[in-house]
Amino acid sequence: MTVSRVEVRRGTYHDSVTLMLVSRQAEELPGVEAAAAVAATPVNLELLARQGFSVDGGGLGPGDLVVCIRASDEEAASQAMEGVEALLAGAGHGGSGGGSGAIAAQPRSLRAAARRDPHLNLAVLSVPGRHLHYEIAEALRAGLHVFCFSDGLDPATEAACKRAAAERGLLLMGPDCGTAILDGVGLGFANAVRRGPVGVVGASGTGIQEVTCLLDAVGVGISHAIGVGGRDLSPEVGGLMTLRALELLAADAATERLVVISKPPDPEVARRVADAAAATGKPAVLAFPGLGEPPPLPAGVAVAGSLEEAAAWAAGGAGGVGNRVGAEVAFGAGVGARVGAAIGEGMTEPRRSAPSPPEGEPSPAADGDPPLTPGAIRGLFSGGTLCYEAMAVVAGVVGRVASNIPLRPGWRLADPHRSEGHTFVDFGDDAMTEGRAHPMIDPGLRNERFGREAADPETGVVLLDVVLGYGGHPDPAGELAPLVERALAARPGRLTVVVSLCGAAGDPQGLDGQAAALRAAGAVVARSSAQAARLALAAAGSWAAAGGERR
């Protein structure tokens, strides 16, 4: 007889990564069928309800802990609860160092740490949003550049902090900055990419990751990739750090070409960025997926309609290998001629022809076309810019796509946990990550949604991203592949799963092994979000051929 236990511990806080690890360890205990230790946020409580746990959420909040166990019998449930208690107690105590020597007290603030070691020049912030303004201010006063993974500042406060950083000659990368690569050192979610001549400025973490990985795949490296945070190109912030980053890259002798990445920025800010890119004197491309009208373009500045186009442009100017990016985006996808990647399409000068593999090299697209499974396309993404770009490609063919990060205000989902026709969800959005680790670390919430979408008879295609690199899940394909295999077996011939795989050959998860596991499970795999979106349209019957005619 299955036994369920639920315990609520008010005023008990553990960080989301700790709770994720404790939950996974508890599920491995004898007799345990399901285990969850989570902060009592609305997202987590709803997920527990869908998993069959009854929790009275009245008066609960992010500072409260909920522990749920489902086990084979009472004894196993009791032992599991004791195990969770022991795991949480162990997580709360760091090592004492041991030995007889005196142990130096840890600094109690950023400024104290900077005083202790004058060589420190960078602070990495990942703290609850309510503490963020104070910690940023402390870091800047201490003369530290800031990489800020956390979010929680309103735009006016963010702008004030960035002005203060610029006045001190410092970089404030963030808030909400997912990725940076400085002098070959990755911060946040970054990939093992080679050094080279391309400098990148990105308001998006996964946008930086996709461009740098596509370049790495064709042998082109990065000088620096400077993240600036998701709102830097908003009218309130005005691109303050984007402009500062372009100044720094202009003065960097190792940087020969520039790529600027963002969701569609404010038009006036986009014009300023274009002018600043031109002022560097280095060729530059602006990659703003989903942008309508590009800003006026000074000489030496191009616009790319997708991340893969931007990568092809940057690669083409760094050894003439731009066409090879076109081959790489079809990595294992098996699209044949049906949805070949038109990398040059949509480029403003310089334009490039559609890609083809270099002479004598086989195309990686060798698995055949995806099956035709008409129905709604459901996009489940961990990367916000990857979601936005894929959504823009799909909406350009099918029209309305509902989302929690909509292309248009009227397309916003009424409930992000329930789909409406063609639907794309960014699981990395702030509302979806409160009290949870980012989905690139903990894909549990998305995995649960995948099961529901795959079983929905209205769904014809599920489109997902899998993002590799430092800081991410050690084996995302290992978790996703069994779910894909079961979903396809349950709806043979009626469901297609398409995966946009973002990673580099040197990533710790193993790019080739991840791709192989996903293909073996039956997924169609591409190397860019735009290419994956075209594959999804083809499978849904909305993309008639490589040219993308409407059906």
Using one digit for the tens of pLDDT, what is the confidence trace for 488-506? 999 999 999 999 999 999 9
Q: Do the beta carbons of residue 495 and residue 454 sit within 8 Å?
A: yes
Q: What is the mean pLDDT of residues 234-249?
A: 96
pLDDT of 436: 82
pLDDT in tens, 68-125: 999 999 999 999 999 999 998 876 554 444 444 445 667 778 888 888 888 899 999 9
Question: Between residues 294 and 478, which one has the greater pLDDT?
Answer: 478
The Cα 422–Cα 531 span in angstroms is: 18
The Cα 33–Cα 41 span in angstroms is: 23
Instruction: Compute CA distances 96 → 88, 105, 283, 523, whole Å.
Output: 17, 11, 53, 47
The Cα 63–Cα 41 span in angstroms is: 9
Domains 3-90 and 376-540 share a fold: no
| pLDDT of 291 higher than 70 | yes
One-character DSSP codes across 173-203: E-SS--EEEETTEEEESB----EEEEEEEES
Average pLDDT, the chain: 86
The Cα 511–Cα 527 span in angstroms is: 11
Give Cβ neighbours of residue 410 (< 8 Å, ≥ 6 apart).
none
Q: What's the fold here for domain 111-324? A: Rossmann fold (3.40.50)
pLDDT of 357: 33
pLDDT of 358: 34
10 Å Cβ neighbour count for 79? 17
Chain position carrying tokens 């409407």: 550
User: Which tokens sit at 449?
Assistant: 């949604």
Q: What's the fold here for domain 3-90? A: Gyrase A; domain 2 (3.30.1360)
Q: What's the fold here for domain 376-540? A: Rossmann fold (3.40.50)
- The domain spans of the chain are 3-90, 111-324, 376-540
One-character DSSP codes across 12-51: ----HHHHHHHHHHHHTSTTEEEEEEEE--HHHHHHHHHT
Q: Which of 65-69, 111-115, 462-466 has the lowest mean pLDDT?
A: 111-115
Instruction: Compute CA distances 388 → 302, 439, 463, 500, whole Å.
Output: 21, 16, 13, 13
Confidence band, pLDDT 50/70/90 cuts, at residue 218:
very high
